[in-house]
Structure 1
Amino acid sequence: MAINAVLFDFSGTLFRLEQQDGWLDDVRDDDGSALDVEAQTELMRRMTAPVEQSVELDEEHLHAWHNRDRDPQLHRKVYLEVLRLSGVPRRDQAEALYAQLIAPDQWTPYPDTEAALKAVASSGRKAGVLSNIAFDIRPAFGQRGWDAHVSEFTLSFEVGAVKPEPEIFQAAIERLGVRAEETLMVGDSEEADGGARALGCQFALVDPLPTAQRPDALLGVLREHGVL
């Protein structure tokens, strides 16, 4: 069946949280030493991993982890704990890093994000953004004028469901006014985004590489599925 709508994941698909100069300059580990490059890289991975639990958590924080994208307060609680367990012992430093994580203007778009959104919208199809997330990402699009190409944003903390639960995909499809069979889901997680297949959607996987290393994957999957 022809594709009439495309749903895009946010983190690792359209945008990526990438370390900015100065973010970690003042972070010190338990012995007061600055984090080396390897430690900084691992810290950023833990802050942005889409599915996997990267540290051992107690029962209280494990509950917060499993429900982090349903509730902004639980999201903040567990990520401050993840940062603490990842070598950021000072609360003020952890809170400063967390503020960067949830600031939409700190996220970097992939090189072909704008072109992909425009291509879907200009073809007469509907583009939607479907994300497991606990903060509003619309400003990341609005400040660039890209929200004009997005018909609907479906965010887990607003609808009370998370991928791969069918309810969140169903909500996104209904908002777009299309059938699952004519919808393509594009995301970086087979486990989470691939859940769209259960409703009958088509699915395309992209690699959440650094933005400089993935120049045209979004346009590539649109071509593969006949959208371009």
Structure 2
Amino acid sequence: MSNLPVCGPEGPIRATPSGRPSAVRAVLFDFSGTLFQIGTYADRIRAALSQPVDDVAMDRILSGLEAGLSDPAVVAAQPARDVSSQAHRHAFTTWYSSVPELAPVADELYAQLQAPEHWVPYADAVSTLDQLTAAGVVLGVVSDVGWDLRPTFARHGLDHYFTSWVHSYQHKTEKPDPALFQHACRELGVEPASTLMVGDHPAKDGGAAGSGLRSYVLPAGAAAGSVRGLDAVLRLAGLSGLHG
């Protein structure tokens, strides 16, 4: 049965017994841009090329990557890129290869994307996960991705917080498909109405609301290792009195 209220023109026909939303019992997190961020493109490109790249050349390469986002071949490779590991690899290597200097190292750049050592947790990730877990809130990961994220979390000591891992490529679909959110809720033993989805994509992560979950979308642009603003998650979970 759906957890969404039945609505008439003026709003819900039937309110919850208390008139207030149920307590948050579970939080689902996106991966990239939410709990982790990868190192800068400039650093990754220099490592892949294994040679010095001056600032002028790097600006040219980075401009080429930006322009590549409009390349017809790159655009054509993006739809449904997260439904399989093969599609994910093809989408990214096609984009990297749109820049002549990067075409020979496209596979190396993609390998970096999968490598746990290239990802950095946001500065407030651990304290947020600590406080949620201490309060008895169960946690899961729901990510549009082309590889298993557990080794990355394990390298940084964050894997033990989570009891559900939902990778889009393993389910052959992408957010906001309700199947992904519902699968995580079943694994955690919680109802969607008691679950909060946290991410950085308005359509994909915010789309969890269409499946009966609550959702919180973080603003874009946080650099690797910076404070992400995850204290907002604690407030939404009713833990605003706790501080890490």
Same-fold call, TM > 0.5? yes
Identity of aligned residues (%): 32
2:40 is matched with 19
Q: Which of 140, 146, 150 is matched with 1:138 structurally?
A: 150
Q: Cα RMSD over matched residues?
A: 2.7
1:56 is matched with 71
Q: Does 2:173 correspond to 1:161?
A: yes
Could you say if the C-alpha distance between residues 169 and 42 of structure 1 is closer, same or farther in structure 2, counting changes exceeding 3 Å?
A: farther
- 3-state SS in 2 of match to 1:217: coil
8 Å CA contact 1:5, 1:182 repeated in 2: yes
2:86 is matched with 73
1:35 is matched with 57
Who wins on radius of gyration, i.e. which is larger? 2
8 Å CA contact 1:12, 1:207 repeated in 2: no
**4+ residue runs over 6 A deviation:** none
8 Å CA contact 1:55, 1:82 repeated in 2: no
CA distance in structure 1 between the partners assigned to 2:230 and 2:63 by the alignment? 25
Tell me by how many angstroms 1:41 deviates.
Answer: 7.4
1:119 is matched with 131
Task: Give per-residue Cα distances to partners, 1:34-80, cap 9 Å, x unaligned.
Answer: 6334743774x79xxxxxx9333349x72x42222111111111211
Which 5+ residue runs of structure 2 have no aligned equivalent? 1-21, 50-54
The letter of the residue matching 2:134 is: S
8 Å CA contact 1:24, 1:40 repeated in 2: no
What number of residue pairs does the alignment pair up? 213
Tell me by how many angstroms 1:156 deviates.
Answer: 0.5
- 3-state SS in 2 of match to 1:23: helix
2:223 is matched with 211
8 Å CA contact 1:18, 1:210 repeated in 2: no
The letter of the residue matching 2:35 is: L
Could you say if the C-alpha distance between residues 211 and 58 of structure 1 is closer, same or farther in structure 2, counting changes exceeding 3 Å?
A: closer
TM-score, normalization by structure 2: 0.77
Tell me by how many angstroms 1:185 deviates.
Answer: 0.6
8 Å CA contact 2:36, 2:224 repeated in 1: no
Could you say if the C-alpha distance between residues 73 and 126 of structure 1 is closer, same or farther in structure 2, counting changes exceeding 3 Å?
A: same
Tell me by how many angstroms 1:162 deviates.
Answer: 0.8
Which 5+ residue runs of structure 1 have no aligned equivalent? 28-32, 47-52
Q: Does 2:21 correspond to 1:6?
A: no
CA distance in structure 2 between the partners assigned to 1:177 and 1:112 by the alignment? 27
Tell me by how many angstroms 1:208 deviates.
Answer: 3.2
The letter of the residue matching 2:24 is: I
- 3-state SS in 2 of match to 1:189: coil
8 Å CA contact 1:159, 1:168 repeated in 2: yes
8 Å CA contact 1:181, 1:202 repeated in 2: yes
2:208 is matched with 196
8 Å CA contact 2:185, 2:191 repeated in 1: yes
Could you say if the C-alpha distance between residues 13 and 158 of structure 1 is closer, same or farther in structure 2, counting changes exceeding 3 Å?
A: same
Q: Does 2:95 correspond to 1:82?
A: yes
